[in-house]
Amino acid sequence: MTNFLIKRAVTSALSLFILVVLVFFLIRLTGDPASLFLPLDASEEAKEKFRDLNGLNDPILHQFFQYFSDLIRLDFGISLRRAEPAIDSVLRGFKWTLQLAAITMSLVASLAIIIGSIAAFRVGGFFDRIVTFFSLIGASAPDFWIAIVAIVVFSVGLGWLPTSGTGTVFHWVLPISVLFIRPFGLILQVVRGSMLNVLSAGYIKTARAKGVKDTAIVFVHGLRNAMLPVITVIGDQAAGILNGAVIVETIFGFPGVGKLMIDSILQRDFAVVLASIIITAVAIFVMNILIDIIYAILDPRIRY
Amino acid sequence: MAKSPPTAKDNNTRRFVFNAWLLMLARDRFALFAAIFLLVLVGVALVGSFALEDVATKQNLRGRNAPPFDFNKDWIFWLGGDALGRPLLARIFLASRNTLMIAASAVSFSLIIGCFLGLIAGYTSKFFSHLILRVADVIMSFPSLLLAVIILYMLPPSVINIVVVLAITRIPIYLRTARAEVLEIRERMFIQAATVMGASNKRIIFRHILPIIIPTMVTIATLDFAFVMLAESSLSFLGIGIQPPEITWGLMVAQGRPYLTTAWWLSFWPGLAIILTTLSLNLLSNWLRVVLDPQQRWRMEIGDQKNG
């Protein structure tokens, strides 16, 4: 196990390093911050001075080694736009996104597992058909469209919920509901499919013959074995939210890391882009390792 | 649709296989509707979008944001008009061409490249396999938004760019699946037999392994088509995908957003088109998964109405 963890950490660090190198060089192809940060009529000298001041005139390899040696000391550089350490802006945004992802995914996971298992228990029944149909629709719907339709209906039409921003509990309802729909549809289908496979296994028939209660068969005997593929998909979807709640964060004016990242990309705020990519990537790597550990706990046959 | 096995050279057998497929499609009503909807959609994209191109781009400022369901007007205005008075129905038809073409090209590119790399990673040396997998890891953790912005600023705006972005981000999916399948298949007896008989690696990979993994890959591709469509719509919605005057459904939703409170139909109809298409693809992919799985195919072959 320890060996496995070390190996995973090393390969993750390697991938992270390549990612940082790629992003560092590619993002400098998107344009020159000087022409974006200075007024349109700024003189060429002023632009030159701006570049000198921010080290953008140094040879690119020099810039990279500078950045990298700072990074090793956990110094992520200064945000051009906000004039504060880039890591501060990113962590502030990441806190929001992490909360959003955690609340959404725990709701999604618990509801999808319960409803999916019940649907699988009576395959082809009325409940199963309804659930399958709606989960398919949920998995097919574009989130930006649901978001704006939800705003029109619940905020503008009925006036129940605020359109955007943060502050009260009510501000969380729409973003969470919109983020909820697609992962819920996908995970529910995986739960149902996996549960169907497990429920046809021999040991379930034995349990039934012994007279074990239905709920115990599904949620105690079946669920543990049906969980393995489900955990994988939950992990993928959680990574998706950590990485890309951009749409929902943009539409609802939610100050998360996704919105921060796209804003910084458009503003050529290189330090913030790199810092947010590194922080999200580390979070996703950590989550993937946790998922592998959960695998081993759920299924003792899995040895690393 | 007719996927006849390679031995079925003779016409009768082919027709039989084709009929069997139609029959299995008819058994699953949802999949049948999905298939019909998608066929109509492809027809619209191929024919309708060209026939209506003039109507869809002609501005009529007196009909700005014309409300839908006004049946006194031409049928083309039944879904309303957009902010420049262009008929929405014709716009949706026109946009279907780009939407479908982008998704189709991105999926085929990533399918072919991913499949090829997966076959190599699965069948050749450990070194190549590790190299390819690490590259896939990096692609998967690279934010697609950033890639889209980089390509948008580096190259002149065109439909090809967005296809490249989407294709690159989806390659790892096919690569991993193909590799996993190959790892299992290469241990089977008939591969050993082929090796013993002196078949070259190329022959084993393309003639013996590839045909077996194709059904899995096709099922994934159908599902992925829906995913890629949603991804393209999201990018276009954020303004870093398709650039006007080119048009896709996602961009139409974005363009309708400022008029949301006064003219909901501008965003609503294109979004509905996206949902219906992805839903059909998901239904069809579910059906394909059952039909292509020899252990589950009987569900469709006998007249059982329950699906899945």
Confirm if A174 and A154 have CB atoms less than 8 A apart. Answer: yes
Q: Is the pLDDT of residue B292 over 80?
A: no
CA distance A57 to chain B (A): 20
DSSP string, B45-112: IIIIHHHTHHHHH---GGGTT--S--TTS-GGGTT-B-TTS-BHHHHHHHHHHHHHHHHHHHHHHHHH
Q: Is the pLDDT of residue B282 over 60?
A: yes
The whole-number pLDDT of residue B62 equals: 67
The whole-number pLDDT of residue B63 equals: 66
The whole-number pLDDT of residue B1 equals: 44
Q: Which residue has the tokens 């239904």?
A: B283
pTM score, two decimals?
0.79
Confidence grade of residue B308 (pLDDT, cut at 50, 70, 90): very low
Confidence grade of residue B306 (pLDDT, cut at 50, 70, 90): very low
* Number of C-beta neighbours around residue A260 at 10 A: 27
* Number of C-beta neighbours around residue B19 at 10 A: 11
Q: Is the pLDDT of residue B65 over 70?
A: no
The whole-number pLDDT of residue B33 equals: 86
Confirm if A90 and A263 have CB atoms less than 8 A apart. Answer: no
For chains A and B, count residue pairs whose Cβ atoms are closer than 8 Å.
109
CA distance B308 to chain A (A): 8
Residues of chain A with pLDDT under 70: 244, 302-304
DSSP string, A245-256: -HHHHHHTT---
Q: Is the pLDDT of residue B5 over 80?
A: no
Q: Compare CB distances from A124 to B143, B150, B306 and report the shortest one's residue.
A: B306
The whole-number pLDDT of residue B179 equals: 85
Task: Mention every residue, 6+ apart, whose C-beta is less than 8 A from residue A114.
Answer: none
Indicate the SS3 state at residue A85. strand
The model's pLDDT over B207-236, given as tens digits with 9 standing for 90+, comes to 888 888 888 888 888 888 888 888 888 888
Helix and strand counts by DSSP (H, E) for chain A? 14, 0
Average predicted confidence (pLDDT) for chain B: 79
- DSSP structural state of residue A87: H
The whole-number pLDDT of residue B299 equals: 62
The whole-number pLDDT of residue B300 equals: 64
User: Cα torsion at B23, B24, B29, B34 (round to 10°)?
Assistant: -100
Confidence grade of residue B17 (pLDDT, cut at 50, 70, 90): confident
The whole-number pLDDT of residue A121 equals: 82
The whole-number pLDDT of residue B8 equals: 47
Calpha distance A98→A103 (Å, rounded): 9
Residues of B in contact with A265 (CB under 8 A): 145-146, 149
Give CATH superfamily name and number for B38-301: MetI-like (1.10.3720.10)
Calpha distance A235→A287 (Å, rounded): 7
Indicate the SS3 state at residue B186. coil
Q: Is the pLDDT of residue B304 over 60?
A: no
The model's pLDDT over B21-38, given as tens digits with 9 standing for 90+, comes to 777 777 777 788 888 888
Confidence grade of residue B307 (pLDDT, cut at 50, 70, 90): very low
Residues of A in contact with B149 (CB under 8 A): 30, 265-266
The whole-number pLDDT of residue B112 equals: 93
Q: Is the pLDDT of residue B9 over 70?
A: no
- DSSP structural state of residue B155: S
The whole-number pLDDT of residue B305 equals: 47
Residues of B in contact with A261 (CB under 8 A): 143, 145-146
Nearest chain A residue to B150, by CA: A30
The whole-number pLDDT of residue B109 equals: 93
Six token digits for residue A68: 């990298």
The arithmetic mean of pLDDT across residues B258-286, rounded, is 84
What residues does each domain of chain B span?
A: 38-301
The whole-number pLDDT of residue B93 equals: 83
**Chain Cα centroid distance, residue A265:** 18
The model's pLDDT over B132-186, given as tens digits with 9 standing for 90+, comes to 888 887 887 777 777 777 777 777 777 888 898 889 888 888 888 888 888 888 8
Residues of B in contact with A27 (CB under 8 A): 146, 150
The better pLDDT of the pair A256, B65 is held by: A256
The answer to whether the CB atoms of B134 and A246 lie below 8 A apart is no
The ipTM, to two decimals, is: 0.75
Residues of B in contact with A14 (CB under 8 A): 134
Confirm if B265 and B283 have CB atoms less than 8 A apart. Answer: no
The answer to whether the CB atoms of B238 and A132 lie below 8 A apart is no
